[in-house]
A and B are shown apart, each in its own frame.
Chain A
Amino acid sequence: MSGARVVACGWGWRHAGRRRWAVSDLDLDLQPGERVLLLGASGSGKSTLLRGLAGVLGDAEDGESAGDLTIDGMPPPAVRGRAGLVLQDPDAQVILARVGDDIAFAGENLGVPREEIWWRVDAAIEAVGLPFGRDHSTAQLSGGQKQRLALAGVLAMQPRLLLLDEPTANLDPEGAVSVRDAALRAAADTGATLVVVEHRVSLWAGHVDRVVVLGESGVLADGTVDEVFARHERSLTDAGVWVPGVPPGFARPSRSAAGPVLLRAVDLTVGRRAFGAKTPRVAASGVSRDIVAGRALAVTGANGAGKSTLALTVAGLLAPVEGVLAATDELRGGLGPSPASWRSRELLTRIGTVFQTPEHQLLTSRVRTELEVGPRTLRLDGEQTAARVEPLLERLRLTRLAAVNPFTLSGGEKRRLTVAAALATRPRVLVLDEPTYGQDARTWRELAALIDDVRAEGTAVVFVTHDRDLVEVLADDEIVLTGVAP
């Protein structure tokens, strides 16, 4: 088996109902077996191109196409199964409840005979290195395992073109490497052509033959890794691409002085109750730490170590399972010591939380009203509210988007909005869960600078992260969680 040849000739696509073309005037020729890293600013149409090649853009009802896009000389929808696409969100790609059934799904759809399907399933499990049998539940997989499962599901189609759309953006570093290695091994074994879209270039740079950069219209740069980065370092960095060797671009001015202690955790055990369960499942235990005004505390550890649960407990959203989480007099101002017992409104000025998934936090249909929710709840008048909201809009480059529906924002914009919404009530403690998750380099710099500003102004910052760079530039202290034995 060999790889597919991909040819785009003046190709373009416009989604139905949009004025702007997502991709236009694209000319591209990828040779069989080539490994290609596809880059470009957000909105340059990388995902659209991959979806076009996978044949899932839809028909005339879904959008309008121009020019030609072919795989081995055929339009992609005519050769379903020749191209396999892995997407960014691990949760969105699990289709069935058992590992084997999920991988078998593509074979069923393409009419592969039953014996052949199961032979392919076993080969795919082996190829991506999943340590499970066919009957393992897909709900229990980690993010990295889910992405390898998605890859296995695609490999079972025996594709000649492997398309990866930011497959590791939502993963911890180990998970990201495991997915990359599985994909590279599969491409090497089958000779398939490989096209990867990824912001974190350093992960792939040493393993691809060619880099293609998409611009506003067509290809902006095309060549080997060294050529492209040498010539376009600046424009790529500005576009949010993590160019290898270029530092994240934010350095913290100076270490901070400690302010008063705001929260005190003593031998804290945290956990959550599963749906219908009687007792909470412990996620982390033995945490003792002071949370101090003007200092940033990083919470790190592998997937499943209880980082988010700890953050939600510190934020007063979950009650501790055991041990103590107590607010000091400085923070509680007349309330009881346990943040979990405070009213929702009382939390606002004390502890603000930014969730991992912005969509869970959005409440209104406009960016401006989203920021006004907190101040209004605090019963600030119109003038006071505006005095808080306007500077935040300005500072987070959201002014232009003030009347837009938050759900239609890009990932980076949504993240900035939820941080701004938490800041609008000026909490003394700010808790952030994976603030840089899946963000490009540009948003990363902005968020790092913002979080550090907030800390420098005297807020205690607690942030959960996998991102070593972020820990390096922001953290004064670090808790490394190791999880509890199941």
Chain B
Amino acid sequence: MTLEIDLRHSRLARVNPVAKLAAAGILSITLLLSIDPVSAGVTLVATLLLLPFAGLAARQLWLRMWPIALGALVASLATVLYGRPDGEIYVEWGILRISDGSIDLALSIFLRVLAIALPSVVLFATTDPTDLADGLAQILRLPARFVVVALAGLRLVGLLIDDWRELSLARRARGVADAGRLRRFAGQSFALFVLAIRRGTKLATAMEARGFDAAGPRTWARPSRLRWRDAGLVALAAAIAAASVLAAIAAGTWRFILGL
């Protein structure tokens, strides 16, 4: 059981994770600078156009995207109803007001959340955590101890998913699965927490038994290097970001967030 997407068919898998981090960062930060539908729309469309080249299975992507899409929808619906009124007002009922302004803002928020989330999900779902750790430690020079512990801990996530399912079945067997959903969830979460600590302790012993945290310098079995195709991905992200900003300025919709 893993959280990663099957990467065998994705050309993105060969790009250095540090470059993907940079690309996702450029797109996200650019979109965070403004709230308008045009810049987010351009980024989203560009990403969708490039998506078929990434070689990912649609279902696997959808499984990771739908919670975010749902969240974006809820946020924008709330904005339609309660957003700051501006321009023509269509419905007014108590504090609930639907206006040109609130619709515009809702659309901006919806597109923006998707435009930030989609490239990030695509780039990270195609990243092997081991490669990311190598890149973070060797290229960005993050502390090895921190990176390796995080990486080893990540592998436990898969085990914890299995634990969660086993806990659900065990609770049914013990006769306590008929209780309210919320109460059941709380109890089971605590049980998972206890299991996680136990697994973590065992893993720490196994790591120490293999010389982890020994005195002396550490070496890296897998070199992590930046190549031309990594620069290409970053350049592509920068181009999309630039095009989004320029399109928004040209359309007159660019609203710098600090000026709002």
Contacts and interface: CB of A to CB of B under 8 A. Distances in A.
Contact of B172 (A51, A347, A359): A347
A117 B210 contact: no
A312 B175 contact: no
Given A112-B219, A118-B221, A361 B209 contact: no
B179 to A, nearest CB: 9
B173 A114 contact: no
A359 B196 CA distance: 11
A312 B166 CA distance: 10
A84 interface: yes
B246 interface: no
Interface string B147-167: 000011001001101010111
B212 interface: yes
Interface in A387-438: 407, 421-422, 425
A54 interface: yes
Given A80-B211, A97-B155, A109 B173 contact: no
A374 B170 CA distance: 13
B250 interface: no
A109 B130 contact: no
A291 to B, nearest CB: 16
Nearest to A356: B166
Contacts of A362: 191
A359 B130 CA distance: 30
Contacts of A108: 218-221
A195 interface: no
Given A96-B152, A109-B213, A154-B210, A344 B203 contact: no
B58 interface: no
Nearest to A312: B169
Interface in A115-134: 117-118, 121
B207 A85 contact: no
A422 B194 CA distance: 22
Which of A106, A108, A139, A352 has the most chain B CB atoms closer than 10 A to its own CB?
Answer: A108
Nearest to A378: B175
B163 A101 contact: no
Contacts of A2: none
A275 B206 contact: no
Contacts of A64: none
A229 interface: no
A85 B209 contact: yes
B206 to A, nearest CB: 4
Interface in A349-378: 351-353, 355, 357, 359-363, 373-374, 377-378
A117 B221 contact: yes
A85 B206 CA distance: 8
Nearest to A100: B221
A39 interface: no
Contacts of B213: 109
B173 A361 contact: yes
Given A111-B218, A154-B209, A101 B130 contact: yes
Which of B129, B161, B194, B208 has the most chain A CB atoms closer than 10 A to its own CB?
Answer: B208
Interface string A142-179: 00000000100110010000000000000000000000
A95 B203 contact: yes
A93 to B, nearest CB: 4
B205 A377 contact: no
Which of A109, A275, A278, A362 has the most chain B CB atoms closer than 10 A to its own CB?
Answer: A109
A107 B212 CA distance: 10
A94 interface: yes
Given A92-B199, A97-B129, A359-B198, A81 B209 contact: no
Nearest to B172: A344
A325 B179 CA distance: 26
Contacts of B97: none
Please provide the 9 A-B residue pairs with the shortest distance between their CB atoms, ordered closest to farther. Answer: A344-B177, A92-B202, A109-B211, A106-B210, A104-B221, A353-B173, A85-B209, A348-B175, A56-B208
14 contacts: A95-B203, A106-B211, A114-B220, A114-B223, A117-B219, A157-B211, A275-B165, A276-B63, A345-B175, A352-B173, A355-B173, A359-B195, A360-B195, A425-B175
